[in-house]
Structures are given as structure tokens and as C-alpha cells.
Structure 1
Amino acid sequence: MSTIPITKRGAEMLKEELHRLKTKDRPSVINAISEARAQGDLSENAEYDAAKERQAFIEGRIAELEGKLGAAQIIDPTTLDAEGRIVFASTVDLEDLENGQKVTYQIVGEDEADLKEKKVSVTSPIARALIGKYAGDVVEVNAPSGVREYEVLEVRYI
């Protein structure tokens, strides 16, 4: 099985979700199932069906998270020494050469990507274009809206 790159913060988020699922959600759904069972006939018991469906979802998510964490290669950006090169987990300041707008992105794993938090997946077009570049480089990104050019202003490992 191949490893999945993930930042230290991303691994912590997955561990927190796994803990919540095991300690809160799983016991809650088990109680809901036993309460629904106590109502008698299960053949037309909507509460029972809903609780069983929820239990299947929770158990599936627990298995998925355990698999991801088991295969995770946790990368702490503060310990990186990439000599100014853009790598996984680095934070990059960019300037759009068309309109002069400045943006900052951190390159993260697929599970951590959140554009609202300026975190882009390592598999996204912009991250693929940036990997291996240095401050001062100009990159072309094949975005859904067309080709965009960005200048790399700064690369940080925070």
C-alpha cells in the first residue's frame, strides 16, 4: 500500500474525527438502535432503519480514517529544509500576472484541501504547477477558467 502525504495538522484533524466517531457517534447510534428495537416490529420501523443506516456510515468512516492514518506519511512543514523550493506542505505567496492580485496557498493532502482556508490539494492543477519552483519563478496554471500565470513571490515552511 502506498503512503498518503498529509500535514501534521491534517493528521490531527483526522485523529480528532476518528476519536469523536468512536467515543460519541458510535455509542449514540447503538443506543438509537436498541431504543428502536424496543419498539417491537422491525419490518416497518423507520427509526430502526435510519439508525442502522447511520451505523453503517459511521463504521465505514471509521474504517476509512483508520486506513488513511495507517498509510499516512505525516509531514511537518516547520521541519522541512527544501532550500526555498516549493514542496508538499509549503506555503506559497503568489501574484496573478494578469490582474496583480496576490494570493497565498498551502499545498496539502486531498483530505485537508479547503479553498476557504487557502489550502489546495497536492493533486490540484495549481499545486502540480508549483511543485519544484522557487521564489521569482513564473508558472502557468491550466485552471478550469483557462491558462493563468502567477509569479512566485515567497515560499515558506510554516
Structure 2
Amino acid sequence: MSKIPLTLNGAQQLKDELQRLKTVDRPAVIAAIAEARSHGDLSENAEYDAAKERQGFIEGRIAEIESKLANAQIIDPRTLDADGRVVFGATVEIEDIDAGQTVTYQIVGDDEADIKQNKISLNSPVARALIGKYAGDIVEVHTPGGRREYEILDVRYE
């Protein structure tokens, strides 16, 4: 399996979720299954079926997170020496040339991406267009909404 890029913050979020799943969610679902079993006939017990389904989800998510962490390549953006180039983990301030709007994004892994926090996936069209470019460069991005041009105003490693 190939390495999965994660920022320090993204790796910590996965570790926190794994801890919660193992110490809070897993014991809660086990208790719910035990409670449902105590109600008798399992063939028509909706509570039991729901608890078993939830248990399957939790166990699957635990396995998924453990696999991702085992294959993670953790990158600390503060230690990058990319000479001002846009790379994974960089925070990039860009201006939409047509609209004149400025926005700042951090380029992160798929699991960390959250547009509400201005974190975009390494695999997004905008991030793919920005990677390898420098402040002052103009990039063309082909998005589902059409072609856009952005000017890179600043690249930071924070």
C-alpha cells in the first residue's frame, strides 16, 4: 500500500478518533448489544440489529484508521524547506483574478480536507493546479463550475 500523506494535525485527529472509538463507542455498543439480547428473541429485535450494525461500522472504522496511521507519511509543514514552492501542507493565499476575491487554503490529505476550515485535499483540482508553483504565478484551474484563473499571493509553511 502506498504512503498516505498527513499533516501533524491530521494524524493527531485520526489518533483522537481512534482513541474515542476504542474507549467510548466500542464499549457503548457492546453494552447496547447486551441490553438488546436481554430482551429475548433476537430474530425480531430491531434494537439488536441496529446495535450489531453500529458495531460493524465502528470495527470497520477502527481498522480503516489503524491502516491509515500505519501507512501514514506524517509531514510537519513548519519543517518544510520548499523555497517558496507550493507543496503538501503549505498554506496558500490566492486571488481569483476574475472575481477579485482572496482566499487562503492549506493543502492537506483527503482525510483532513474540510472546506469550512479552508483545508483542501491534495487531490482537488485547485490543489493539483497549485502544487509546484510559486508566489506571483498565475494558475489555471478546471473546476466543475468552469475554468478559473488564480494568482498565488503568498505561500507559507505553518
Give TM-score scaled by structure 2 length. Answer: 0.99
SS of equivalent to 2:36 = helix
Structure 2 residue aligned with 1:140? 140
Q: What is the one-letter code of the residue matched to 2:14?
A: L
Partner of 2:56: 56
* Unpaired stretches in structure 1, ≥5 consecutive residues: none
Give SS of 2:151's match: strand
The answer as to 2:43 corresponding to 1:43 is yes
Q: CA deviation at 1:107?
A: 0.3
Please provide the CA RMSD for this pair.
0.5
Which structure 2 residue ranges, 5 or more long, are not aligned?
Answer: none
The letter for the 2-side match of 1:114 is D
Aligned pairs, number: 158
Q: Spell out structure 1 runs of 4+ moving beyond 6 A.
A: none
The percent identity for this pair of structures is 71
What is the match of residue 121 of structure 1? Answer: 121
Q: How far does residue 40 in structure 1 lie from its aligned partner after superposition?
A: 1.0
Matched residue, 1:25: 25
**How far off its partner does 1:3 sit?**
0.3
Determine the C-alpha separation between the residues in 2 that align with 1:28 and 1:101: 47
TM-score (norm. length: structure 1): 0.99
